[in-house]
Amino acid sequence: MENEFFLNAGVPLSLHFESSASMPMWHSLSSAMEIQGTEVNCLSEQSQDCFLNPNWEKSADHGVHFDSALSSMVSSPAASNTNLSNDSFVIRELIGKLGNIGNSGDISPHSQPLLASYIGGNTSANTSCYSTPLNSPPKLNVPRMDHLVKENLPSLGKSMPLNSSVADFSADPGFAERAARFSRFGSKSFNDRTSQFGIKNTDVSCRSYLPMDTEGLPRVSSSPSLNALGSQMGAQENNISPLQDRTELANSQEESTVSEQIPKGETGLKGSNDVNSRKRKTASKGKAKEATKAEEANDKSNAKRCKTTEANGNENGPVKAEEETKGSTRCAGDEKQSKSSTKPPEPPKDYIHVRARRGQATDSHSLAERVRREKISERMKLLQDLVPGCNKITGKALMLDEIINYVQSLQRQVEFLSMKLASVNTRMDFNMDSLMISKDIFRSNNPSPHAIFPLDSSASAFYGHHPQQNPALHTNVSNGTATQCPVDPLNTAPCQSLGVQLPPLNGYSESVSQYPMYGEDDLQTIVQMGFGQNTNGETAILQPRRFHVSDQATHAKVEL
Amino acid sequence: MASSISETNFEESKRIKRRKTGDELRDPDTIDHTRWRSESEQRIYSTKLFEAIRQVRRNSSPVNKVSSGRDIQDAADRVLAVAAKGRTRWSRAILASRLRLRLAHNNKKHKKARLAKVTGSIRSKMPEKKRFIPALQRKVKVLSRLVPGCRKVSFPNLLEETTDYISALEMQVRAMAALTELLTGSPVDRLASTSDS
């Protein structure tokens, strides 16, 4: 049965090879899925038939068949995995063909979503929710799908809007499961794409797909369907990045599921990709290039979930195999390489992405890319901790925005504070120097807030207010004033005088003893002492700490 | 904090690796961003800043010109760069720039640059959806302009520098606010200006 489809679709039989194995998975998946589609379950059986054959053959019937087939597939929990898996391939083919048809607007909205969801579901649970793997031309009457499709599968250039159905698929918790599994396997061929997808299908289905893609090089390269699939896969992958931002999901649950799946899939895939790549380093340059490109593209798309998915898709589309010529050559090259190098590759790696970039991860270029990406993400995480309010922001662009704003605000604050300090500077006369010093120490020693009055407006009322604070302060102040040394009150000269004038330095013998050493180190020590006592002083920007400068000033004057 | 954990890893790898000055090979592990949070660091900075401000005042008084905020800011930045011990690119750039640029030139440059950055960042948000490469690249450029001395630094290193720069700036703000509060006797509201006494 399945074979038929593929044959009909021009897809090599090997494709569904494991569809039987995948079937159970799909089955569970589909059962778990929340299917919006009300259609039914006949799909599993019919799907292949009506779906593949008639659809392909009759353009006119496409919509209808798709509709029924997709809906049944999507909605029916009974839908076999194989159906889905097969259908995914089939769908892609169909989509490719339908693309033309779709343009004409024949495809019914229903079928389109189903198709989209189908494809999305097959390829990635995550993507299905958010994006339609196919680009849907505006001609299609399904705006949502168009949007999704466009973004998702620019490569295909088909106009199959795959909104709702995709969403349905993605909502399936089974997808998440598969995605997790997929990520574990770390599709090496799909380095970035798969990671982004976060595991679209079960491993089995992946396997089934991949082998076809990678091993069937000649077939793959020759068959446009594969290219379409590949592009689809690529596009879907790209879509994953925007997936998270999509809010087009019919179900919030789907969205949540998808979002869960996506990070899961992504992280898992990335990790697995790394592992795989490291394990195998047989990737060829061509593969590496594609992988790198894909990685970069995927990376970028990941980084910018909300953004320009189309752009990503476009990039990936061509890369993947959007243009058949390009894609075919690339695919062929990659496939060949992957075939040779990925003898042992894990089937799950290949399974979703028709692109079949097996061994991509093992390429030195892709490895380097991955390392680079991880470095960047590591640092972005550090920054996320640093910049307040960035916990929920994902994506490089948004994070950069936040970082830029934060740095600008900090610089503005510094500017403002420096202006304030400058005004204080100008206002004060040379006594300020000693005042400053004493203030530093005073501040540190004085836990209770006191109003700090500038010398100009000093009032003797506070003179004896805080005897504890005064000693250190007026020691300094007296030194400063005594020496009348505007230049360096902290010089040793004042220190000497300080030593002489130490009336009430009872509690501050410490500081006093340190004064004689006065140089910068000592000042630092003094300040530290002060700070040590007042650990919160420096950080309590908003806490008023006031000192009676006037006390010191007056006291100093009195002493003098 | 995560950064501290990563920092320890970094430190280890730093000991193992030889630090390279190239952008690509720069060893990010050498930089410990958490040191800016320490009290001692802030104390040291406050002390030095205080000294620097006094010097500024002293230097400017003969000329009988009011010490502008810009002067203070430059002094503060310089002290901050010194506190960074030259391990980071931005600190070295600050120290180097002081030798080259005149204050007035700095004022114009920074103000223009800041305005440009502000508008640039705003602008960058608009075409975001149209072109994804320019948006990200633009932001990277904006950020690289914000962090001194990091205009041609690679993105991962730029992020590293930014992390350290942000930590240092936070410390600078804390220290300066405390100092201002000390001097003016009024609490400094970070977000709003308080009346000067």
pLDDT digit string (tens) for A119-152?
Answer: 444 444 444 444 444 444 444 444 444 444 444 4
Query: Packing angle between helix A163-171 and helix A143-152, nearest 10 degrees?
Result: 70
A132 lies in some domain: no
Angle at A337 between CA A293 and CA A209, to 5 degrees: 80
**Residue A429 C-alpha, separation from nearest chain B C-alpha, in angstroms:** 10
Tens-place pLDDT, residues A202-237 = 444 444 444 444 444 444 444 444 444 444 444 444
Q: For residue A315, what pLDDT band results from cuts at 50, 70 and 90? A: very low
| CA separation for the pair A92, A355 (Å, rounded) | 13
CATH code (residue A391): 4.10.280
Residue bearing tokens 């400058």: A422
Residue bearing tokens 């908003």: A542
A404 lies in some domain: yes
Residue bearing tokens 């390829």: A123
DSSP labels for A52-119? IHHHHH-HHHHHHHHHHHHHHHHH-TT--HHHHHHHHHHHHHHHHHHHHHHHHT-S-TTHHHHHHHHH
What pLDDT does A409 receive? 92
* pTM of full prediction above 0.80: no
Sign of the CA dihedral B115, B116, B119, B125?
Answer: negative
Angle at A264 between CA A260 and CA A269, to 5 degrees: 150
Q: How many CA atoms lie within 13 A of A294 on its CB side?
A: 46
Distance of CA A229 to the CA centre of its chain: 26
Contacts of B58 (CB under 8 A, 6+ apart): A486, A487
What pLDDT does B129 receive? 52
Contacts of B91 (CB under 8 A, 6+ apart): B80, B81, B82, B84, B85, B168
DSSP 3-state assignment of B26? strand
Candidate from A415, A539, A543 with C-beta closest to B73: A415
| CA separation for the pair A5, A347 (Å, rounded) | 22
Residue bearing tokens 């593929």: A6
What pLDDT does B115 receive? 61
| Lowest mean pLDDT, pick from A362-371, A499-508, B55-64 | A499-508
Residue bearing tokens 């989209």: A116
Tens-place pLDDT, residues A145-180 = 444 444 444 444 444 444 444 444 444 555 545 545
Partners of A124 in the β-ladder:
A200
What pLDDT does B53 receive? 74
Contacts of B37 (CB under 8 A, 6+ apart): B167, B170, B171
Burial category of A560 from C-beta neighbours within 10 Å (exposed 0-12, middle 13-18, buried 19 and up): exposed
Amino acid at residue number A454: P
A375 lies in some domain: yes
| CA separation for the pair A127, A110 (Å, rounded) | 18
Q: Give the Å distances, CA to CA, from A31 to A110, A173, A330, A498, B169.
A: 20, 9, 37, 86, 55
| CA separation for the pair A208, A196 (Å, rounded) | 20
Contact, A454 vs B180, CB < 8 A? no
What pLDDT does B58 receive? 73
> Which of B57, B88, B163 has the highest number of chain A CBs within 10 A, making it the mutation to test binding with A?
B57
What pLDDT does B154 receive? 85
Looking at the predicted complex, does its ipTM rise above 0.85? no
Q: Is A541–B174 a contact, with Cβ atoms under 8 angstroms apart?
A: yes
**Residue A213 C-alpha, separation from nearest chain B C-alpha, in angstroms:** 30
CB-CB neighbors (< 8 A) of A544 in chain B: 181, 186-187
**Residue B179 C-alpha, separation from nearest chain A C-alpha, in angstroms:** 8
| CA separation for the pair B107, B87 (Å, rounded) | 26
Contact, A128 vs A168, CB < 8 A? yes
pLDDT beyond 60 at A485: no
Residues 380-409 of A with CB under 8 A from B: 380-383, 385-387, 396-397, 400-401, 403-408
| CA separation for the pair A508, A514 (Å, rounded) | 10
Number of domains in chain A: 1
Tens-place pLDDT, residues A239-286 = 444 444 444 434 444 434 444 444 444 444 444 444 444 444 444 444
Residue bearing tokens 């053959």: A57
Residue bearing tokens 């995948």: A22
Q: Report, in angstroms and rounded to the nearest whole number, the Rg of chain A calculated over CA atoms.
A: 35
A372 lies in some domain: yes
Q: Which residues constitute the domain of residue A405?
A: 365-433
CB-CB neighbors (< 8 A) of B34 in chain A: none
Residue bearing tokens 């720039």: B97
| CA separation for the pair A153, A236 (Å, rounded) | 6
Distance of CA A58 to the CA centre of its chain: 43
Q: Is B187–A523 a contact, with Cβ atoms under 8 angstroms apart?
A: no
